[in-house]
Amino acid sequence: MKRWILVLLVVLGVALAAPLVPALSVTVAPRELVPAQAGFVAVGGAYPLNVSVTLDGEPLAVYWTGSGYLAPFAFDFEQPPGEHQIVISAANPATGERLEETETIRVVEYRYPEEYVALAFRLTPLLNPQLNLDELAQLDAIYALQTQPVHWGWPFAVPAPGSVVTSRFGGNRSYNSGVWSAYHTGTDFRLGVGGPVVATTSGRVAAAQMFEVRGKVVIIDHGYGVYSQYAHLSEVYVAPGQLVQRGQIIGLAGATGRTNGPHLHFEIIVNGIPVDPIRWLALYPGFIPPREIDPERDGDGEGSPGEGEVLPPPDPGAGS
């Protein structure tokens, strides 16, 4: 009998000493990134806790998702290789208890290919640097708004179902012998004029308008600082403020703006930074990447980005 009382006391003691904050489950994905790639910190735990996440000491926006907390992060093209510390702190405001966890992620060396692009003469006014900077500033103003989504929608879908990638994200492009140079901030899909373009996942239309370089564009706000952009469209079927679902047709592909031919230019933007869309989509387990064009099999020329014909790199020995 005495022994049972002892057992009971031990059990009670353990129960009383147990933390009232349930054990944190922390997911950081991915742990290894390249420049211009995004990831997220997900914290599973009881609500309400005060959760804060820092990346190298700088606070990340943390969102309550209904089943935990989410803090997306992104590195830009200029990010040098190196390690980064993510510190996750959770405090229970009722008890004052605090837990802290540190995770390390790594940006690895990655060189995006240099691309030399020839643009049709009629499109050369669109290489004006100031015009390009103004358009990027307009886009930045749209992406600056970080919202709580109506419905957060993993997985993200390929916006041109069944299509193939004609130009990867990230090419370091020099247009018409250096008139303008910029990274390719999206992934290009082969679609003819009128090809259906679908929302990568649910969200609210943030913009549906004409831009000079990107042509007719739809931008969708998915919440938590994550946006998608669909450019060079011929038709737009949605209006700003409208809610859209994953797979819903939002417009038709086209060749508006600075492009030599019809295709879909698709971007994912996280915390204002354009990141590799395919790597973002691939964060969801089981994602099947779209096929990429094979110049050998698919005929030459078709592998070139619709935004301009890719030329071979200049020969440094040519002396011109």
Residues of this chain that bind Zn ion (CB under 5 A): 186, 188, 265
DSSP labels, 261-306:
S-BEEEEEEETTEEE-HHHHHTTSTT--PPPBP-HHHH-TTTTS-T
In the bound state, the residue with its beta carbon closest to Zn ion is 265
- The rounded distance, in Å, linking the Cα atoms of 165 and 181 is 22
CB of 311 to Zn ion, least distance (A): 17
CB of 186 to Zn ion, least distance (A): 4
Joined tokens for residue 299: 């005929």
Nearer to Zn ion, 153 or 290 (CB): 290
CB of 213 to Zn ion, least distance (A): 11
Among candidate residues 182, 151, 167, 146, the one with its CA nearest the CA of residue 270: 146
Quote the DSSP letter at residue 121.
G
Nearer to Zn ion, 265 or 279 (CB): 265
* Spacing of C-alpha 317 from chain mean position: 39
Nearer to Zn ion, 115 or 188 (CB): 188
CB of 167 to Zn ion, least distance (A): 6
CB of 187 to Zn ion, least distance (A): 7
Pairing of strands 165-167, 187-189: antiparallel
Nearer to Zn ion, 223 or 303 (CB): 303
Nearer to Zn ion, 188 or 276 (CB): 188
